[in-house]
């Protein structure tokens, strides 16, 4: 496809410049940048209309599949894009990537393998993100009189080269997998990609065995911060946040079955507490935990590539290639 070939050619050109020691980005067709920004603007326009219509609340009232309506108790709304459709128009005269998506009728999104069972914390959030994205596409489809379908580009559990996938044209967007404040492939996501309005936001909670001494001693996030050397078990929705905010503790991550896996580690004496975005582990079927709200909130947008980012491959499929900005 034209845009994918252009993205590959751009990546090859940048790699050649890097190899020659030149760090200046080559000239890029202006429609590449414009089309990517149009995609962001269209997604924002769609999301703002979803919120303005109340469809976002309807989605939460039906989620998660195992306990409809529970999502209303743990999903947070960030007001970084107010529900004001009149000042958020859909882009006119689509070009580049956005035009290609409208014409081919598919949008390729990076997603990640999960068990899709209540054993994973992600089970209680992924269906929400899926429904939100479909609602946004419904708005775009209605405006442009098209029928865009979602095509998943699936990556395995663990750290993923999601920036590379959009920069190289292997995917159009990264779905709501990555929180705005985190990093991927050695760069802050906010500086390595374009991003939309925050479509979902979650708080982080500390879950402590109710009968342990720690349950008496930890009542706020500050109580945890003042201590050292505790063993924190997390899943993929909390690992970067836990490592960044609690560097004085030992954080381990279970990328699959994190709810049941962390609970087993607690019972076996291999972990002291759990950090994840559920306000109570009883939502996931686990009993016997005291939950403490950290008041730390992470938001997730949809991500689109930038033209000035390069992630040259080191030739080793087992390593995560580092990205950087070309000047």
Q: Is the pLDDT of residue 15 over 80?
A: no
Which of 193, 212, 186 lies closest to 300 in space, CA to CA?
Answer: 193
Q: Is 138 exposed, middle or buried (0-12, 13-18, 19+ CB in 10 A)?
A: middle
| pLDDT at site 29 | 84
pLDDT in tens, 183-237: 999 999 999 999 999 999 999 999 999 999 999 999 999 999 999 999 999 999 9
Residue 16 token pair: 């050649």
β-sheet bridge partners, residue 37: none
Half-sphere exposure of residue 163, counting CA atoms within 13 Å on the CB side? 29
How far is residue 12 from each of residues 17, 36, 140, measured CA to CA in Å?
9, 20, 33
| pLDDT at site 253 | 96
How far is residue 305 from each of residues 76, 148, 159, 313, 320, measured CA to CA in Å?
26, 20, 18, 17, 17
Q: Is the pLDDT of residue 52 over 60?
A: yes
In the chain, helix, strand, coil percent, each to 5? 40, 20, 40
Find the radius of gyration of the CA atoms of the chain: 21
Split at pLDDT 50, 70, 90, the class of 158 is confident
| pLDDT at site 116 | 85
pLDDT in tens, 231-284: 999 999 999 999 999 999 999 999 999 999 999 999 999 999 999 999 999 999
Domain ranges of the chain: 2-201+300-325, 202-299
Q: Is the pLDDT of residue 154 over 60?
A: yes
Alpha helices in the chain (DSSP H): 2-19, 30-53, 55-61, 96-104, 123-144, 162-167, 189-192, 213-217, 221-226, 239-245, 258-267
Split at pLDDT 50, 70, 90, the class of 6 is very low
| pLDDT at site 10 | 46
Would you tell me how many other CB atoms lie within 10 Å of the CB of residue 141? 17
Phi, psi (rounded to 5 degrees) for 167: -65, -40
Would you tell me how many other CB atoms lie within 10 Å of the CB of residue 160? 21
| pLDDT at site 26 | 62
| pLDDT at site 25 | 58
Q: Which CATH class is domain 202-299?
A: alpha beta
Average pLDDT, the chain: 91
């Amino acid at each position: 496809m034209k845009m994918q070939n252009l993205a590959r050619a751009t990546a090859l050109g940048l790699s050649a410049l890097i190899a020659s020691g030149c760090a200046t980005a080559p000239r890029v067709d202006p429609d590449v940048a414009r089309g990517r920004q149009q995609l962001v603007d269209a997604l924002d326009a769609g999301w703002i209309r979803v919120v303005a219509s109340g469809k976002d609340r309807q989605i939460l009232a039906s989620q998660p599949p195992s306990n409809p309506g529970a999502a209303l108790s743990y999903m947070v709304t960030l007001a970084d894009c107010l529900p004001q459709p009149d000042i958020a128009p859909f882009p006119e005269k689509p070009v580049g990537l956005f035009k290609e998506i409208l014409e081919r009728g598919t949008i390729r999104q990076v997603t990640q393998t999960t068990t899709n069972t209540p054993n994973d914390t992600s089970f209680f959030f992924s269906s929400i993100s899926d429904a939100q994205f479909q609602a946004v596409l419904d708005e775009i489809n209605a405006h442009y009189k098209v029928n865009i379908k979602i095509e998943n580009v699936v990556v395995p559990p663990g750290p993923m080269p999601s920036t590379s996938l959009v920069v190289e044209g292997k995917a159009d967007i990264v779905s709501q997998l990555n929180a705005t404040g985190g990093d991927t492939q050695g760069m802050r996501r906010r500086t390595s990609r374009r991003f939309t309005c925050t479509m979902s936001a979650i708080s982080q909670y500390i879950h402590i065995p109710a009968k342990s001494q720690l349950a008496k001693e930890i009542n706020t996030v500050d109580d945890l911060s003042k201590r050292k050397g505790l063993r924190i078990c997390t899943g993929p929705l909390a690992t970067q946040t836990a490592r960044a905010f609690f560097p004085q503790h030992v954080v381990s991550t279970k990328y699959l079955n994190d709810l049941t896996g962390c609970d087993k580690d607690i019972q076996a004496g291999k972990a002291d507490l759990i950090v994840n975005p559920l306000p109570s582990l009883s939502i996931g079927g686990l009993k016997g935990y005291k939950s403490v709200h950290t008041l730390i909130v992470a938001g997730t947008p949809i991500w689109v590539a930038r033209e000035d980012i390069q992630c040259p491959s080191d030739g080793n499929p087992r390593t995560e290639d580092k990205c950087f900005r070309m000047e």
